[in-house]
Copies of this chain bind each other. A is one copy, B any other.
Amino acid sequence: MPDGTAIGREALRDVPAREVRQAIRDGRWRGTTHDMARGFVQANLAILPESHALDFLRFCLRNPKPCPLLDVTDTGNPEPARAAPGADLRTDLSRYVVYRHGKKAAEVSDLRDLWRPDHVGFVMGCSLSFDAALAEDGIDPAELRRGQQGAQARIPVYTSSVDCVPAGPFRGPLVVSLKPVPRHLADRVRQVTERYPLAHGGPVHVGDPAAIGVDPSRAEWTEACAIGPDEVPMFWACGVTPQAIALAAGIPEMITHATGHMFVTDLTLEDIRR
């Protein structure tokens, strides 16, 4: 690299989480966090003004499958001390999206200028831990990606007809991710994911997509998804849910990670296994 500081994805694959955060903080890594600091739990981020924090927290507690809380910061303090002591939510993610009044207002690479004393950070489990947990159990995650293009292909995501439990202005449908799972693996995949409630837990629905208002042949958040004759459609609560619901609520401001640019915590799969 020209400036001699940037590093490649491979160099960050098997390092402790804090090294990934440091590389991002130093501007040496600006990409997604896929396949980095393997074994550590990656997380969704939401930052809200304190005026909406209590209701958002209630929303998370009432809807633990889409919003599994790993940490909540003190007001104005960007350190998520339980999930990653010493981390800084303003600088340790490689890309952020700023939403204002329900619309995307900006995409930025740090929050040094945007963080305010009334901001509260929410760190929530994400399904990246899913693949790692399956792999640890001897199931090749690639086998669940048939029909999709490459390891980086986005998991199909749909808005379901299932309503979340509301809290204040936060209300609306559950967003779900879909994996067509080979029939002989369905039980094991269910069992493995049930052991990780902080990574969305077990499936919210298995079988007929129409039962939860989903048509997999229709592209919505991501591409359409074909389900083979020997595959079972399995649906999990998706971490996009709180973001979609906060946007629909049209609250004045919400800052999140950009898709794929997750917050890499110090928690391990072992830490969140039940």
Contacts and interface: CB of A to CB of B under 8 A. Distances in A.
Interface of A: 50, 53-54, 57-58, 61-62, 69, 72, 74-75, 81-82, 120, 165, 167-168, 274
Given A54-B54, A274-B274, A72 B61 contact: yes
A74 B61 contact: no
Contact of A74 (B53, B58, B81): B58
Closest 3 CB pairs of A and B: A54-B54, A58-B72, A57-B57
18 contacts: A50-B54, A53-B54, A54-B54, A54-B57, A54-B75, A54-B120, A57-B57, A57-B58, A58-B72, A58-B74, A61-B69, A61-B72, A62-B82, A74-B167, A74-B168, A81-B165, A82-B165, A274-B274
A120 B167 CA distance: 13
Contacts of A167: 74
A66 B50 CA distance: 25
A132 to B, nearest CB: 21
Given A54-B75, A58-B72, A274-B274, 15 more contacts: A50-B54, A53-B54, A54-B54, A54-B57, A54-B120, A57-B57, A57-B58, A58-B74, A61-B69, A61-B72, A62-B82, A74-B167, A74-B168, A81-B165, A82-B165
Nearest to A274: B274
A78 to B, nearest CB: 15
Contacts of A53: 54
A220 to B, nearest CB: 29
Contacts of A168: 74
A167 B82 CA distance: 12
Nearest to A70: B61
Nearest to A75: B54
Contacts of A57: 54, 57-58
Nearest to A60: B61
A82 B69 CA distance: 18
Interface centre among A53, A74, A82, A120 (most CB of B within 10 A): A74
